[in-house]
Each structure stands twice: as structure tokens, then as C-alpha cells.
Amino acid sequence: MRNLRVHALTQTPDMMPTLLEAFGLPPPEGVQGHSLLPLARAEAEHLRDYACIGLQLGGASEWGLRAPGWAFLLPGPSEPGDPPRGRQLYVKPDDRWEVNDVLQHHLDRADAFEQTLKEFVAASVVRSP
């Protein structure tokens, strides 16, 4: 077996379709993830154009979007007493530690990423019956 390093963007919801495919089972209708097996078999180079993440801790939240060459951060509400933070945009992989925010130079790109991220968050929020 050869070593394989894959640079594709993946997300946690990709695990269920991957396991189901590995066991020869079809994914349920409406599943958001993609099987990672085509990447592992070198049949595909990427599965998605971006990956989204989110963190909620206490009353604070932050959302992020990774796309090839970019990382976009969108702070949500912060804890009382914490200073508000603005959105941020970083060039990847050049800015490995995310120290050079280039948002002011790429406002159109940041606006597009923010819209995509907000749509993702709206579609991902679990609502109680």
C-alpha cells in the first residue's frame, strides 16, 4: 500500500456516508456529507468547494469557512464584557498562523464567503419541534 496525502476539504458529516459506503450500504436521502472513499482510492481530488465549522461556548460563537487558498472567520455574539470582534480573512497556506488579516484588500471575496457561511449556518441550525 502506498502513502497518500489528500489536500481535499472535508467535514464531520462526511463520516457517515463514508462508513455506509465501506459497508456497502446507501446513505439515507438528504444526507449532507460525502463519502471520503473516492479520495482514499485516488479517484477524486476534492469533494467540496468549501468546508464550514462553528463553535459555541457559553454565550459566544464563531463560524469559519475554509476554501482553497482562504480562511474566513465570522464572529457571532460574544460573552458580556468581551470586546466585539470583526470578521477576518487569511490567505492559506501562506499565513499558516493567521496573523495577517487581508480582509480590507478582498472585501468582495469576504462578502461572498460571509453569505455562504450564513446560508450554511441557517441550514444547519437544529430546531426543536
Task: Please check whether residues 110 and 60 belong to one and the same domain.
Answer: yes
How many domains are contained in the chain? 2
C-alpha cell at 70: 482562504
Cis, peptide link before residue 93, omega less than 30° from 0:
yes
Burial of 36: CB neighbours in 10 Å, binned 0-12, 13-18, 19+: buried
Task: Please check whether residues 61 and 114 belong to one and the same domain.
Answer: yes
Q: What is the pLDDT of residue 127?
A: 54
Task: Please check whether residues 27 and 87 belong to one and the same domain.
Answer: no
Task: Quick: pLDDT tens for 4-16.
Answer: 788 899 999 999 9
Task: Give dist(CA 49, CA 116) in Å, integer.
Answer: 11
Task: Quick: pLDDT tens for 117-126.
Answer: 999 888 776 5
Task: Please check whether residues 119 and 74 belong to one and the same domain.
Answer: yes
Task: Please check whether residues 31 and 19 belong to one and the same domain.
Answer: yes
Which amino acid appears at position 121 of this protein? V
Question: In the predicted model, what is the mean pLDDT of the chain?
Answer: 90
Task: Please check whether residues 55 and 40 belong to one and the same domain.
Answer: no
Helix (H) or strand (E) holding 88: strand 88-91
Task: Quick: pLDDT tens for 66-104.
Answer: 999 999 999 988 888 888 889 999 999 999 999 999 999
C-alpha cell at 10: 472535508
Task: Please check whether residues 57 and 104 belong to one and the same domain.
Answer: yes
What are the CA-CA distances from residue 91 to residues 15, 31, 108, 109 (Å)? Answer: 28, 31, 15, 12
Strands, E assignment, 39-87: 51-57, 60-67, 70-75
Domain that holds residue 23: 10-48
Whether residue 1 lies inside any domain: the answer is: no
Task: Please check whether residues 31 and 94 belong to one and the same domain.
Answer: no
